[in-house]
Every structure is written in C-alpha cells, then in structure tokens.
Amino acid sequence: MNTWTRQRFVLLGIIALAVVMLAACGGSSTPAPAEPTQAPPQATKAEAPAATQVPTEASAAKSPVALRVTFAWPTYIDPAVGNDFSSSAALVNLYDSLVFPAKDGGVIPWLAESWDTSEDGLTWTFKLRQGVKFHDGSELTASDVVYSMKRLQTIGEGYAYMFENVADVSAPDDQTVVFTLSKPSGLFLLSLVRLYVLNEDLVKANTAKKGSYGENGDYGKDWLLTHDAGSGPYMVKEFPLEEYLLMEKNDDWWGDFVENAPDEVRFIAATETATVRTLMADRRLEISDQWQTVQALKSLDAIDGISVAAIPTMTEFYFMINTKIPPTDDVHCRRAMSYAFDYATAVSLEWEGTKQSQGPVPATLAGHNPDVFVFPHDVDKAKEELAQCKYADELDQYPVEIHWISEVPDEEKFALLFQSNMADIGMPVKVVSTPWLSVVENMSKLETSPHIVTIYVGADLPDAGVMLNQRYSSATADQWLQNEWLLDKDFDARIADALATVDQNERYAKYYELQDYIVDLAPSLFVYDQVEKHAVQDYVDWPAMKGEMSPMQGYYFFAPQIGVNPTQ
C-alpha cells in the first residue's frame, strides 16, 4: 500500500467515525413512542424524551413498571454485612423479618404470627407463618431463622450489634423459634425487624469452603454479594457492582402489593446533581437520592411533574461539644453557646418542614420527651451564662474550633452562622473544614478531639434509648458518634437500666428523665431534626410522604407499598 492510499485509508477511517457518531444521533433523534417510566421494549426507545410521548397499549402491556431510585454506592445485600442507607433499602425488599416496623414505632406480625415472652423477659418464643416460600420455591422454616441469627452473630457485621444479648436460638419444630437472652432487653422485639431470614440450604449450597469462619467456610459471603437468598417481595435480577441493583417482583410473595406496586425496582449508583436532574426531567428516575443539595432540589421542584418530599427521619443534626477541654469543659460556657445560637435561622437554611430539635433525640423516636427544655435564641441569657463561665475573662486565649465535614458542603453555612452568633457574645470561633476520615480519626482520642464537630446521627431503631445510648454512653466516647466525651458513670448506669426495662411505659419514663438530664448538661447543640429530601415524580404514590411508613432507615423504600402509575 503506498502512502497516498494509506492516507486515504486514514481519511476514510475518520469519515467512518464521524458517520457512526452522526448515525448514532440520528437513531434517537426521532424516537419511537415510549412509555415515560416504563422500560421500553426496543433499545432505541430507552433513552427517548419520554415526558412528551404517548404510550401505545401494546408497549404498556409488555413493559414492566419500574421504580428507579438513585443511591450512594456501595449497596450490600448480604443481611450479615449491610446496614447503611442503600443496603437497608435493598434488604427490606429482598428479605422478610419476623416482625415489621409499624409507623408509630411499634411492630406488627410478619413472618412471626404471634409471640410470647417469659416473665423474666429472657425467653422469647415465636410462632411462624405457614406456607412462606423462598425465591427458589423452598419453604421457610424455623431452622432458617436459627441459621440466619447464628450467621449474623458469627460474622458480626451489619446489624449484628443489635443481637449481642442473644445467648441462644433454637427451633423446637418447623414453625417455632425460641430466643434466649443473656439479660432482659426492652428493645429485643423491635430489633428483630433487622433479622433478615436467609434460605439456609441455598446459602450452604453456595458457600466457599475456604473462608474465615472455620467449618462454615466463607459463610456464603462471596455469593451473597450479588445474589439474594430471601423470601421478600422482590428478588435480585441483575447486580453489576457500581452500576445498579435491579430487583424484580416476586409474584409468589405471601404479602400484599398495592395496586400499582412496581414490577421492578432499580437502585442506580449515582448522586451527581446533573445526572440526577437529567434523569428526573426525562422521567427516567422516580425518586432521587437524599444527597441532593437544597439548591438542586429547588431546581428540581420547579420542573413540572416533580415535587420534593420532606420525610421526617430518625436523624438529628448536632453540634457535638467536647466537655473535657477548655473553655467548653465549663457547663456555663456550653449553655451560653446553646442560648446564643440562632436556631430559627439555621432551620430556615434547610428545606421547608424542618424543625428545631426538641432535645437530644429526634421527635420521631418512641420515648421522646415532648416536655424537655428547649434552648431558645436569647443573647441576654447567653451573656448571663457566659459571665458565670470560669473562662469568661480569658476567652481570647481559648478560641473555639468548630469542625464541619468537608464532604458535606451544606454544613459550612451552619458553622459560619455559629461563628457569627458567638461573636455576638464575644466568644472567638474558628471554622475548620475537615475531611470525614480525619474527623473520625480525631474523634477517636480525647486529646485530638476538637471543641465542636457538626454531625448528623441517626438511630437504627425508633427508640429514644437507642439514640441516648449511642450518643452519650461511655462506650461510644472514642467513636464518631460522640465528640462530647461525657464519660458519665451515672448516665451509663441509668441508660443501661432503661434499655433493660421490658415494660414500655416504665422504660419511656426513664428515657424522659435522661433527656432532661442531658439537656441540663448542654453537651451538644440540638440543631434540627433532619427531614430527608427526595425529588419525586408526581405519578409515584409514596406513603412515606404522607407519614404512613415507619421512619426506620430503608423501610420507607418498601416497594410493595409504593404505587407507580406512569400513565397518570
């Protein structure tokens, strides 16, 4: 081939490339009609501008109705591993638990039809529902429950920490499960919503011999990364890591689906604003993730057919104050901060519906004390308290550092507001942006913990005691859950006693007293109860928006109760 021929060959190559690109454009510039939120039958229709199109009857009949939600990666669908936001949302759809959370904070029967407890509160007996089938068609029995609990405890990750007091579990017959606790617990029944029941035979058949769990090999962990072994209303169809989790409806599920429950649920691993906006505007995404900024949500809210749902959560936004270093080791200094902070302005910076926290636990949690003292924004009172602080005359020597988490840019404005408010009472404050991993590292030791860290903390169970325990007991002092370093033995004993109280009313009464106790110490600024903001298509009937679902993490994405009607 001579040079000129070669050049022409190269030129032809370039032209071919251009033709391919133009043809690719052309292929979708005149898209065939496609149903807005349904996966269309033809590849060329999938990315069509669906909002303005009318579905044909044939395509509507064939296309599965999809509920698509964006989430932050990673998602773990192994019940002994996952416990974060997206993992929880997946687990509640793939697996069944013995009990199910009610919207008011209690539980309702689920796999367990009934239960009984011994007088000492140490033995719990559950009778299982008959005829429940796993996704492979085999029957769910008590042995599967025993296996699931033992596997969870052995692996020790995920929600295993909720079952540390389970000393034994047994299955006297196929329909009966007996749990024996090492000490009484007022939370055991509630905790069982996080025991997701696995198909023992299926997991064993897919267990690698080589692993960290002795004769149990890898306990099926590798296989369960991308497969499910559940009996829940949806089952895994595809799970390419870092891309999406696609679950399809389990028509043989024993429970009820609402009329327009989705045929498929797709969790998409994307939180980038431009990506989410494009998908929402194209009606190729039904619900956005919770990580969109207020500004991004306002922009989405302005699009016809999209609303923003503000869902109360079990999460509170705290300014965690180190109680062991000057000047914040003086309670009067901390109270001065609590009075000087402008809560109303802080709340106004958030989405509509956000409310100032009423004490150290979110109001959504059962056992929250509605009469607990709430610090108002009162500069005079703040000055009075500051005058009683032993560092009042030497505040310049103790500038307070407030650290906000770099990865959550929205937090900066709250730190700046705090700085401005404290200037009003003459307290110097330095605002510091710190990456999350450094925050965790710093908070693990008293000597490196800053004066204040701004952090959102959520409760895993809708119970005030859970939050009080994880926020203020000495056991969590070196974790990111607590910057206060309260190290209060009296509090430790009282919260342990409260959590062990089986009688609900008695337990809540103890919680009330503990909330008063904490507020008096002013170890934190209780800024606001977080509302989770999601952009939602108007054709989605999401009970969580109406307060009809449990606020427990993941449960408001329980798809059998979510209606998706794209023709609406």
Partner 1 sequence: MKLLPFIGKRAFHAIFVLLGLSIVIFVIARVMPGDPARVAVGAHAPDWVVQDIREQMHLDEPLVVQYFYWLRDALHGDFGVSLVTRRDVAQDIIEFFPASLELALFALLISAGLGITLGTLSAWHKDKFVDNLVRVLSYMGVVTPSFVFAILFLLLFGYLLHWFPTLGRLSEDVARPPTVTGFMTVDSLLAGDMVAFWDALKHLVLPALALAMGSMAQEARITRASMSENLNKDYIAASRAFGIPERYVMGRFLLKPSLIPTISIIGLDFAANFSNAFLVELIFVWPGLSRYGMNAILRKDLNAISAVILVLGVVFIIVNIIVDITVAKLDPRIGLRSARSE
Indicate whether 90 belongs to the interface with partner 1 (CB under 8 A).
Answer: no
| Identified binder of partner 1 from the candidate list 103, 284, 334, 471, rule CB under 8 A | 284
Which backbone phi and psi does 351 adopt, to 5 degrees?
A: -70, 150
Cβ distance to partner 1 smaller for residue 119 or 215: 215
Cβ distance to partner 1 smaller for residue 244 or 404: 244
Per-position b or e across 22-60, b if 16+ CB within 10 A of its CB: eeeeeeeeebeebbbbbbbeeeebeebebeebebeeebb
Segment near partner 1 (CB under 8 A); pick from 135-143, 199-207, 217-225, 502-510: 217-225
Which three-class secondary structure state does DSSP give residue 531? strand
| 452, 321 contact by CB (below 8 A) | yes
Segment near partner 1 (CB under 8 A); pick from 175-183, 273-281, 288-296, 522-530: 273-281
231 to 270: interface string for partner 1, x by CB under 8 A: -------x-xxxxx---------------------x-xxx
How far apart are alpha carbons 383 and 98 in whole angstroms? 54
| Identified binder of partner 1 from the candidate list 123, 174, 201, 282, rule CB under 8 A | 282
Cβ distance to partner 1 smaller for residue 153 or 504: 153
Which residues in 143-182 contact partner 1 (CB under 8 A)? 155-157, 160-161, 164
* DSSP type of residue 65: B
Indicate whether 275 belongs to the interface with partner 1 (CB under 8 A).
Answer: yes
Indicate whether 21 belongs to the interface with partner 1 (CB under 8 A).
Answer: yes
Which residues in 34-63 contact partner 1 (CB under 8 A)? 39-49, 63
Least distance to partner 1 from the beta carbon of 278, Å? 4
Cβ distance to partner 1 smaller for residue 396 or 407: 407
Cβ distance to partner 1 smaller for residue 356 or 438: 438
Indicate whether 136 belongs to the interface with partner 1 (CB under 8 A).
Answer: no
| 512, 365 contact by CB (below 8 A) | no
| Identified binder of partner 1 from the candidate list 20, 58, 61, 302, rule CB under 8 A | 20
| Identified binder of partner 1 from the candidate list 36, 65, 69, 83, rule CB under 8 A | 83
Cβ distance to partner 1 smaller for residue 299 or 356: 299
| Identified binder of partner 1 from the candidate list 12, 19, 24, 374, rule CB under 8 A | 24
| Identified binder of partner 1 from the candidate list 84, 384, 412, 492, rule CB under 8 A | 84
Indicate whether 208 belongs to the interface with partner 1 (CB under 8 A).
Answer: no
DSSP class per residue in 265-323: EEEEE---HHHHHHHHHTT--SB--TT--HHHHHHHHTSTTEEEEEEEEEEEEEEEEPT
Tell me which residue of 457, 456, 433, 420 sits closest to 342, measured CA to CA.
420
Which residues in 504-563 contact partner 1 (CB under 8 A)? none
Tell me which residue of 492, 499, 489 sits closest to 466, measured CA to CA.
499
How many residues bind to partner 1 according to rule CB under 8 A? 76
Cβ distance to partner 1 smaller for residue 373 or 436: 436
Segment near partner 1 (CB under 8 A); pick from 346-354, 358-366, 419-427, 474-482: 474-482
> What is the separation of C-alpha 79 from the centre of its chain, rounded to a whole number of angstroms?
15
Tell me which residue of 415, 416, 414, 484 sits closest to 449, measured CA to CA.
484
Indicate whether 481 belongs to the interface with partner 1 (CB under 8 A).
Answer: yes
**Which residue type occupies 15?**
I
How far apart are alpha carbons 15 and 307 in whole angstroms? 46
Cβ distance to partner 1 smaller for residue 4 or 380: 4
How far apart are alpha carbons 472 and 457 in whole angstroms? 12
Which residues in 398-417 contact partner 1 (CB under 8 A)? 407
Sequence-distant (6+) residues with CB within 8 A of 147 are 198, 200, 203
Segment near partner 1 (CB under 8 A); pick from 12-20, 99-107, 108-116, 558-566: 12-20
Least distance to partner 1 from the beta carbon of 560, Å? 21
How far apart are alpha carbons 18 and 22 in whole angstroms? 6
Q: Which two tokens stand for residue 243?
A: 């891309």
What ranges make up the beta strands (E) of 44-165?
Answer: 66-71, 99-101, 107-109, 112-117, 123-128
Which three-class secondary structure state does DSSP give residue 68? strand
Which residues in 93-112 contact partner 1 (CB under 8 A)? none
Least distance to partner 1 from the beta carbon of 261, Å? 19
Cβ distance to partner 1 smaller for residue 275 or 397: 275
| Identified binder of partner 1 from the candidate list 94, 99, 146, 279, rule CB under 8 A | 279
Which residues in 320-339 contact partner 1 (CB under 8 A)? none
Which residues in 439-468 contact partner 1 (CB under 8 A)? 440-442, 444, 460
Per-position b or e across 395-420, b if 16+ CB within 10 A of its CB: beebebbbbbbbeeeebeebbebbbe
Indicate whether 293 belongs to the interface with partner 1 (CB under 8 A).
Answer: no
Q: Is the dihedral of CA 475, 477, 482, 487 positive or negative?
A: positive
Q: Which two tokens stand for residue 63?
A: 């296309």
